[in-house]
Amino acid sequence: MKFTAKQISEILNGEVFGNPQEEVSKLSKIEEGEKGSLTFLSNPKYNSWLYVTHASVVIVDQKFTPEKEVSSTMIKVEDPYLAFTKLLEYYNNIKSDRSGIENPVFIGDDVRYGTDLYLGAFSYLSDNVKIGSHVRIYPNVFIGDNVTIGDHTTIFSGAKIYSETEIGNHCTIHSGSIIGSDGFGFAPDKKGGYNKIPQIGNVVIEDHVDIGSGTTIDRATLGSTIIREGVKLDNQIHVAHNVEIGKHTVIAAQTGIAGSTKIGSECMIGGQVGIVGHISIGNNVRIQAQSGIGKSLGDNEIVQGSPAMPYNDFNKSYVHFKNLPKLLARLDELEKKLQRKNIEE
């Protein structure tokens, strides 16, 4: 699909400098631009590429003034990075715009869905599933009994949505994710074994939540595991039973959150973080990658390390830690000097 510079400027509310009829059909990085591609310039480090790129159209800041001739057509906007992000979203929506029910699929009893549904081949909708409008369900998706899915939500191939799960509007669930599997609940018996504790709760995912590939969110033992509005989860994250994650919190890959922990709003949690169960983490907390969280944290804390400590304390401690080999060598040398002195005496 081709777009002219004029059409793109209208989408972005920008101004064209050059040929308004210049056509593009793909997106590229500025250093890899070629004829027919669209790119952007927002970082001054890449200014020199503007004069040599072969991209047909370049989005630039409205205050930008070229130092020499530019062969590409420019579109000046208020924020080039945000404008290009908007185009990426627009392009992705066009590319993934599918509708209709493919064959074969299985649709259980009393399944209801809104307008403009896309249901990919080999998908399975169990009984009493309720699906909103403009939903995209890609091939090989399993959806269990009594699941509800809001409007404009996308579920990619191979995702598994267990029974009773509630998913809001404008959510994205990527391939291989498992939502609503049993929480890890076992009670030890007198013989040294373990008896399974039935997990009869569910998972509630509010609006505008993104869940990365291979992420697992366990159903609650009782009540709900809750992912609040605007949460963004990376790939391969584990959220255990009865966890609650507050609004607009973002969590990077390979993080594990143990059962019944409550995480506040607008937190940022790095990759490979481990969080124990039955604690609370406040709002606007920052947890650096590979940290181990073993106790509750208050609002606005910034921590790092395992066990985690305040970020500034960690950096000060690390200075001493990395100097330990030198300090040990100095101690060895002092011991040798003392031994020689004792021998001489």
What distance in Å separates the CA atoms of residue 156 and residue 326, rounded to the nearest whole number?
Answer: 53
DSSP sequence for 151-204: TT-EE-TT-EE-TT-EE-SS-EE-TT-EEEEPP--EEE-TTS-EEEPP---EEE
- Is residue 293 within 8 Å of residue 287, measured between CB atoms? yes
- Is residue 245 within 8 Å of residue 266, measured between CB atoms? no
What does DSSP assign to residue 284? T
What distance in Å separates the CA atoms of residue 42 and residue 45, rounded to the nearest whole number?
Answer: 9
What distance in Å separates the CA atoms of residue 126 and residue 162, rounded to the nearest whole number?
Answer: 10
For tokens 């399975």, what's the residue?
Answer: 124
What distance in Å separates the CA atoms of residue 18 and residue 99, rounded to the nearest whole number?
Answer: 38
Active site residues: 241
